[in-house]
Structures are given as C-alpha cells and as structure tokens.
C-alpha cells in the first residue's frame, strides 16, 4: 500500500512539474473575441463593430502582454480582466485559460445609444446605462445627439 502511495505522489508531482515547467504550457498566444449579448439596443451595425477595431485590439493585447511567456497556471486572469475593463469600452470582460498555451479574452463592447456634445467640443458616446465611455472628434450621424 505504501508503495502505491509513493508511486501516485511521485507521478502526481511529476505531472505538476510538467504543468509549471514545460515550454508547451507557457503562454504563447492571446486570443481575443468579441461576443454579443443577443440584443440590438440602439446604434447601427457600424456602432456595434466599434468594439474591436485594430486600435482596441492592440489595447487589449497590451493589457494582457505581461502573461506572455509565463506558465499558464500562474497567470493572474483577474488582473488581466481588470486592466481590460479599465479601458472603458467593454460592458463585460471574461478572461480564462485556453490549454495548453493561451489566454482567452471575451469582450462585450458597449453600444452607443446617444452622443452628448457641447458647442465647440468633442462628443461623448453614452451606452444604454448612460455611461460615457468614449470621446469622438465629430458628432456621429447614426446616433441621436444631445446638445448642451
């Protein structure tokens, strides 16, 4: 019986070592995808695609780049999630591990329903919760605009 316990512990320890030390389990990719909540609340099709353009994708990559090269089991997914949420453009963010070597990030973009503009200033985009999340140079033509 003792021999069985020693063998199981040895094999378990070796398996854990593989998970932590093997190059194949170090983060080598960041996979980002935009998800939809299935509703269409305001804005146009163009507004919905603002969520994950090239600039936004680069910002998400920067928020997660500290994970690259780390053992996947040691990556602080909550810290990455907090950094992506802090970008302000996403209503919901979920970060998880994609074995053997990926961090997966799913984002639900905020959808603009109103723009607020003051004379001579840029316009702020607001989502359905009245959260101002993005400032744009010109008033959008596909949204109602409130002038202050």
The pLDDT, as a whole number, for residue 124 is 95
User: In whole angstroms, what is the distance from residue 52 CA to residue 60 CA?
Assistant: 9
∠ CA 136-138-139, nearest 5°, is: 95
The pLDDT, as a whole number, for residue 36 is 87
Segment-wise mean pLDDT, segments of 10 residues, the chain, 148 residues: 54 51 87 82 42 87 96 97 95 96 96 91 93 92 93
Q: Which two tokens stand for residue 85?
A: 């949420």
The pLDDT, as a whole number, for residue 22 is 72
The pLDDT, as a whole number, for residue 121 is 84
Phi and psi at residue 27, to the nearest 5°: -65, 120
The helix-helix angle for 77-85 and 54-64 (nearest 10°) equals 140
pTM (predicted TM-score) = 0.73
């Amino acid at each position: 019986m003792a021999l069985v316990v020693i063998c199981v512990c040895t094999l378990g320890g070796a398996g854990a070592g593989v998970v932590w030390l093997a190059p194949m389990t170090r983060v080598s990719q960041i996979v980002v995808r935009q998800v939809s909540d299935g509703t269409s609340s305001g804005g146009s099709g163009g507004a919905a695609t603002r969520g994950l353009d090239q600039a936004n994708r680069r910002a998400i990559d920067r928020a997660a780049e500290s994970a690259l090269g780390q053992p996947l089991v040691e990556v602080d997914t909550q810290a990455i999630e907090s950094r992506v949420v802090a970008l302000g453009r996403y209503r919901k963010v979920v970060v998880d591990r994609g074995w053997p070597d990926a961090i997966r990030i799913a984002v639900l973009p905020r959808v603009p329903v109103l723009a607020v503009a003051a004379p001579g200033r840029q316009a702020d985009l607001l989502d359905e919760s009245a959260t101002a999340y993005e400032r744009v140079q010109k008033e959008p033509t596909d949204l109602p605009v409130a002038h202050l």
